[in-house]
Structure 1
């Protein structure tokens, strides 16, 4: 017997989509996705089928593609297919084959959704997938969000089979004449998820024969707990996070007062991609010397006296910009412009520099600070380390990496942009033409 009514009820209870929505189904050809397609068909919903050929299993990959194409034809629904060079993508981005396949397929599904006007993308995860995800998250380390496993709906992604267990899906195929294809890699213990599926879950089921039912109840509780915690954390984030010059500033005393400290601070920093071990290191360094920095994949957190300052990572060593003459040069969210003039009228503005144009050697380079940088600040006769100058100017630590430096073609400083010119390039009585540099929108 087909669980069509259960399927419809689950969709309604979780508000996965509306009856008239057109849904894109991700179908691999295995039992789970084939059953999902059959249930969509029997329930009378509007859908199309998408299949990814990852070119990882030689003849099997082509077999799967042909099977899914014939399934779509038999159901008389639109069919989409894509071919990926998954191994090359994994090598290029230095990630595992599994991670590469995941990234490739979800990016393609979203492109299809937008191009073809599908309201949702449906994937065929079931209760046992949710259990495996929870166990993997626990093993690898996770916040509260990792404990609820896979959610029925996230943005445009839906999982309408989460009401079924692996055993229940098998029973449907035993009682119906549906065909499917078997992915041989599912039996390999090479992958972490398969190790849990093949070697761990059977032992847990020996302890609790109703494992799926118990986990489903626990996952529901974890999801509600996370919703409560995130509500509290969002309120705390509004109170603790202050924005200054594009950075996030947090009072260290308020972090020390958090209770429970580790849980709340981890959840506060989680949207900025800081991992649990890094959060531990930050908390242990709150009373240490100012200047210590910690990194996530996207941000840097710096202990700066009695504050924590969080800024976006800035790849200063790799970012070089070239100015070949008059005009504007885009620099991040701002720009530096160059105008040549014979008018020697000045205005007092740190964001504008007036330079003797005859001393310029093009192309000029705009970069960010490097070890050993030094220049001769306007009005001084001797050189000064850039690092010392920035300290004297009381530039916050994370901001130091964002100060643009205008460098002449001979490698000499022209301008610490927005702060101080170099004495060697100032306008003098013999200047015939002035180069006017202006920093804006930063």
Structure 2
């Protein structure tokens, strides 16, 4: 007899889905996924069957596909199948075959879920899979999220067999005479998971015969601990992460006061994809000189005087843009510069506007980033000053030095450090007849 009451209880306890939801079942043809299909069919849920052929086991892979296709047909269920060149994908992306198969199948499952309007994707992972995942994570190094291993529900993925272990599944399949196919690669120790399953777990079970149940309890505790940590980190982020137009600022003094420092800083920086090794480097560099950079796959962090400033990696040098008399608006990086002319000679005290004597302009003007050696005469002064020195005196954050728009006349003279200071040579005078007004707006 199938364990239908336990199955339904687990679904309700974990709030995996509600009545009326459509569920896409990932079915390989093995014991676990076939049992999952039988359980869903028995309780009357609206399901479809999805099968991936990774083309890794030749005839055996084709056998699995045919078996699952026939199973779906017998149950009168929608059937979706795809073929992957897994080895080619692994080679192109320089990842393991197992990782390639994982990426390919999850991406495809999500495509089917979205296209065919399924609410969730059900995966047939059980308690032993959860044990193996935690052990793999511990072996490779992990944070708290790795300690809870496989969760019953995350986003659109559900795992309704986590109330069973492998031995219990074997017995249910045997008693109910359920047909399945065996994956020969499951007995190969070439893969890390199989080494854990075949060579490590049996020794741990000698110490604790109830290993799977113990791990299930521990995993639940770790999941609760992670949820608690997430709440506290969100509170902390709200207090010490300052969002500005040019990036996210964290006071170095606040970082120094964090306790436990490494754990909390790692969690605060995790949304920006900084790894544990980079967090270590940041902590070791809290007293370093301004300008020290740290990088993740998507962001960079810069020590800027008393702050750690985080900006996106694409906040970099922008290609030169040309401004003609007819130009009204032009996009430069993450800002927009506008131009208009007027015969009314007046100006405003507004850093985001420059009021320029239009008769001195030589078109086309150039909008570019700062270059080493740039000089200008700040408004109200008489002598040339290096732009780099101006940035220092004005305490301009280091990451903005290379991205601040510089408006340059056709003769090579700087007209305006956009949003900061105009050049004195282009100020309005009593002799001015026409005014060019440049505006700066963040997109």
After TM superposition, the score normalised by the length of structure 2 is: 0.83
Match of residue 396 from structure 1: 397
Match of 2:363 among 336, 352, 359: 359
Deviations 1:38-96 (A, max 9, x none): 11111111111222333444444444333322222121111223344444444454444
Q: Secondary structure at the match of 2:11?
A: helix
Distance in structure 2 (CA, Å) of the matches to 1:437 and 1:57:
66
Deviations 1:19-41 (A, max 9, x none): 22111112222222222111111
Runs of 5+ consecutive residues of structure 1 not aligned to the other structure: none
Q: Against the structure 1 CA distance between its residues 344 and 150, is the aligned structure 2 distance closer, same or farther, given a 3 Å change threshold?
A: same
Q: Is the 8 A contact 1:376 1:423 kept in 2?
A: no
Q: Against the structure 1 CA distance between its residues 343 and 260, is the aligned structure 2 distance closer, same or farther, given a 3 Å change threshold?
A: same
Match of residue 276 from structure 1: 276
Is 344-353 or 269-278 further displaced after alignment?
344-353
Q: Is the 8 A contact 1:351 1:439 kept in 2?
A: yes
1:229 aligns with 2:229: yes
Q: Secondary structure at the match of 2:376?
A: coil
Match of residue 100 from structure 1: 100
Distance in structure 2 (CA, Å) of the matches to 1:365 and 1:62:
61
Deviations 1:79-126 (A, max 9, x none): 223344444444454444433333333233233323322221111111
Larger Cα Rg: Structure 1 or Structure 2?
2
How much does 1:436 deviate?
Answer: 6.2
Q: Against the structure 1 CA distance between its residues 358 and 193, is the aligned structure 2 distance closer, same or farther, given a 3 Å change threshold?
A: same
Deviations 1:255-291 (A, max 9, x none): 3223322223322322332222222222222233333
Distance in structure 1 (CA, Å) of the matches to 2:328 and 2:56:
50
Match of residue 375 from structure 1: 374
Q: Is the 8 A contact 1:357 1:433 kept in 2?
A: no
Match of residue 186 from structure 2: 186
1:255 aligns with 2:249: no
Distance in structure 1 (CA, Å) of the matches to 2:244 and 2:375:
29
Q: Against the structure 1 CA distance between its residues 95 and 427, is the aligned structure 2 distance closer, same or farther, given a 3 Å change threshold?
A: farther
Q: Is the 8 A contact 2:361 2:409 kept in 1?
A: no
Q: Against the structure 1 CA distance between its residues 158 and 406, is the aligned structure 2 distance closer, same or farther, given a 3 Å change threshold?
A: farther
Output aligned runs, 1:48-127, within 5 Å.
48-127=48-127
1:146 aligns with 2:142: no
Match of residue 209 from structure 1: 209
Match of residue 307 from structure 1: 307
Match of residue 335 from structure 1: 336
Q: Is the 8 A contact 2:133 2:150 kept in 1?
A: yes
Distance in structure 2 (CA, Å) of the matches to 1:55 and 1:406:
58
Q: Against the structure 1 CA distance between its residues 268 and 414, is the aligned structure 2 distance closer, same or farther, given a 3 Å change threshold?
A: same
Q: Against the structure 1 CA distance between its residues 269 and 410, is the aligned structure 2 distance closer, same or farther, given a 3 Å change threshold?
A: same
Q: Against the structure 1 CA distance between its residues 393 and 86, is the aligned structure 2 distance closer, same or farther, given a 3 Å change threshold?
A: farther
Q: Against the structure 1 CA distance between its residues 344 and 228, is the aligned structure 2 distance closer, same or farther, given a 3 Å change threshold?
A: same
Deviations 1:324-373 (A, max 9, x none): 8635444555434456x585856445434557664328xx675x56xx63
Runs of 5+ consecutive residues of structure 2 not aligned to the other structure: none
Distance in structure 2 (CA, Å) of the matches to 1:388 and 1:124:
63
Q: Secondary structure at the match of 1:359?
A: coil
After TM superposition, the score normalised by the length of structure 1 is: 0.84
Is 240-249 or 276-285 further displaced after alignment?
240-249
Distance in structure 2 (CA, Å) of the matches to 1:394 and 1:315:
19
Q: Secondary structure at the match of 2:303?
A: strand
Q: Is the 8 A contact 2:233 2:264 kept in 1?
A: yes
How much does 1:390 deviate?
Answer: 2.6
